[in-house]
Chains A and B, each alone.
Chain A
Amino acid sequence: MAPTTLAQKLIARAAGRSHVTPGEVLTCRVDLAMFHDSSGPRRLQPMLAELGAQIWDKDKVVLVIDHYVPEADEESRRVVHIARDWAAEHRLPHVYDSMGICHVVLPQQGHLKPGMFCVGGDSHSPTGGAFGAYMFGIGATEMLGVVVTGEIWLRVPETIFMHWSGALAEGVSAKDMMLAMLGRHGMNGGRYQAVEFCGDAVAALSMAERMTLCNMSAELGAQVGLVAPDDTTRDWLARHGAPGVETGPWHSDVGAPGIRHHFDASTLAPQVALPHSPAQVCGVDALEPTRIDIAYIGACTGAKLDDLRAAARVLAGRRIAGHVQLLVAPASMRDAAEAETEGVMRQLLDAGATLLPSACGACAGYGSRIPEGSTVISSTARNFKGRMGAATARVYLGSPYTVAASALRGVIDDAREFLA
């Protein structure tokens, strides 16, 4: 049998085929469909009613209420109410309300396993690829199709292998790796194909860091971002409600077809994306002095437990600059609780951080917003003009290390000197 990519194996399983070829269009059975309060019930409810159709399999549907909570105004309350009422009416078995951001809550509740084929009503759904699941984002109307039929079409992608050799230096993280890839390949460099992250530097990453890579596959324009599951995956899942998973077949064979790009982790410096594109990237040391007003640690991309730990390592025993607001919105309640237990939260607060609810927050400007005219360094995924709710704001993206160091200095800065 010809060598095959992980993406091909995952799709073949979902399509009930022994082998699939890049370029062919086929229909897959969906193992899990996840959506949130913005993309989900408020859009699905009227369309399902119009069709007079039912949910194909409630046990395979997960609803996470994360975008408009806590409800800031009447409109937000309306959207969230629709979600809650719809979940109750349909007796949905898997609903997570105000517990954190969908891409983080989903695996933390044991819903993702290697080998699954999943869709999410959110562009950062490729986060699930960190667990060896084929998971991609779709819009609400396409989600309606899945919810009614349990199926979805796709064109079998090629695989683009992002091979990272070497080991990351202290204070350099998955976020820096992703920004470097974006700087080299641009926001559509993934051409809606499958990106697979591999090599020693990827294998050495924690699950949270792998999630950061796969999460921002969306920014690379890939359909999915994948990391082959291994012992790290198995151990993490065992601690999060999914013990004893099989990782055996879920990897790309030696000599599998694809395009290969090579990166050296050992020479990577912290990276920063400049306004207003995640692909406009430079090394933090090459950046002109940039005074900031807000340092934002948030979102599924940049506020998981490992991200909070990274920030705390820089901030512990220090105070942020007087003119800076450091905002921390942990990605999930579980991450926030563990950060509390470990003493990480105390270190962040003692340094002067303001703790925000575990929700999508200002990342997409849906609920809360950053102020007009402000300059922001953020651990989130996107810095499009106006993205965080203020058209005149200038948003820079960096790792949680970089955000923390910048909060201390009041200008965007390199965290490595604080870690030496």
Chain B
Amino acid sequence: MSGVNPGRAWRLPAEVDTDQLAPGATMKHGLEVTARHCLEALRPEFAREVRHGDVIVAGADFGIGSSREQAASVLVHLGVAAVIAPSFAGLYFRNAFNVGLLLLICPQAQRIEDGELIAVDARGARVQRSDGSVLACEPIPGFLLDLVEAGGLLPQLKRCLTTSKESP
């Protein structure tokens, strides 16, 4: 797992919904404001204390609710490197990769403790804990890994359109 920088784990319960990640009343003000209120009902200190490279480790069905992709892009904005959970809402799953947020489906995610330093290996589909043990994740299809590595659909489309314009 060399070359993978460890991040601090933020433990969250099951069924974290989109309205907690991106509260509706903040939506008209744009992502900066929404980000300040991200998860305020669950972890009021989160938006203030989260650091670049931190990882969210949640219970089942993360991201249930709305189609608002700000529920994913707000985490990118705050520097979250990945979300690890036993399962995700399908619509959230699509949105996350489209805005460049890595999600890993990890059945044993609940073993990870709050504040623990963990290393996430997306291509290897695994998470290394601070004691060196490794938790297996479901492999992510290659086209989704490409998408998240490109930074999301917008930069990927941009590259595609530029390439097609340049080709004869």
Q: Which residues of A contact B (CB under 8 A)?
A: 25, 38-39, 47, 50-53, 68, 75-76, 78-79, 120-123, 125, 136-142, 144-145, 148, 153, 186-188, 191-192, 218, 221, 223, 277, 364-366, 369, 382, 384-387, 389, 391
Contact = CB atoms under 8 A, between A and B. Distances in A.
A387 B15 CA distance: 14
Residue from B17, B20, B87 having most chain A Cβ neighbours under 10 A:
B17
A139 B69 contact: yes
Nearest to B93: A192
Contacts of A365: 23-25
Contacts of B64: 187-188, 221
A369 B23 CA distance: 12
A144 B153 contact: yes
Contacts of B61: 186-188, 221
Given A47-B154, A142-B98, A386-B19, 5 more contacts: A139-B69, A139-B91, A141-B153, A369-B25, A389-B25
B90 A191 contact: yes
B7 interface: no
A38 to B, nearest CB: 7
Contact of B154 (A121, A144, A364, A389): A144
B41 A386 contact: yes
A51 B68 contact: no
B47 interface: no
Contact of A144 (B60, B94, B95, B157): B157
Contacts of A121: 67
Interface string B12-35: 000101011001110111000000
Q: Is the interface of B mostly helix, strand, loop or mixed?
A: helix
A148 B89 contact: no
Contact of B95 (A122, A142, A188, A391): A142
Contacts of A364: 19, 24, 66
Chain B interface size, under 10 / 10 to 19 / 20 to 34 / 35 or more: 35 or more
Interface in B108-130: none
B6 interface: no
B141 interface: yes
B89 A188 contact: yes
Contacts of B72: 139
A386 B20 CA distance: 8
A140 B152 CA distance: 12
Contacts of B137: none
Nearest to A189: B61
A387 B90 contact: no
A393 to B, nearest CB: 12
A121 B66 CA distance: 10
Contact of A192 (B27, B41, B91, B153): B91
5 closest A-B pairs by beta carbon, nearest first, are A192-B90, A139-B69, A139-B95, A365-B24, A123-B67
Nearest to A52: B161
B161 A366 contact: no
Given A75-B29, A187-B64, A223-B90, A366 B24 contact: yes
B65 interface: yes
13 contacts: A51-B158, A68-B28, A75-B29, A121-B67, A123-B66, A139-B67, A139-B72, A140-B69, A144-B153, A144-B154, A145-B157, A186-B61, A389-B25
B99 interface: yes
Residue from B66, B143, B154, B161 having most chain A Cβ neighbours under 10 A:
B66
Given A39-B67, A138-B67, A384-B17, A123 B91 contact: yes
A366 B28 contact: yes
Nearest to A76: B28
Contact of B27 (A53, A136, A148, A366): A366
Nearest to A121: B67
Contacts of B66: 123, 364
Contacts of A123: 65-67, 91
B145 to A, nearest CB: 14
B99 A141 contact: yes
Contact of B91 (A137, A191, A366, A384): A137
A382 B161 contact: no
Interface in B38-60: 41, 60
A366 B34 CA distance: 12
Contact of B20 (A39, A52, A120, A385): A385
Given A192-B90, A192-B91, A38 B27 contact: yes
Contacts of B98: 139, 141-142, 145
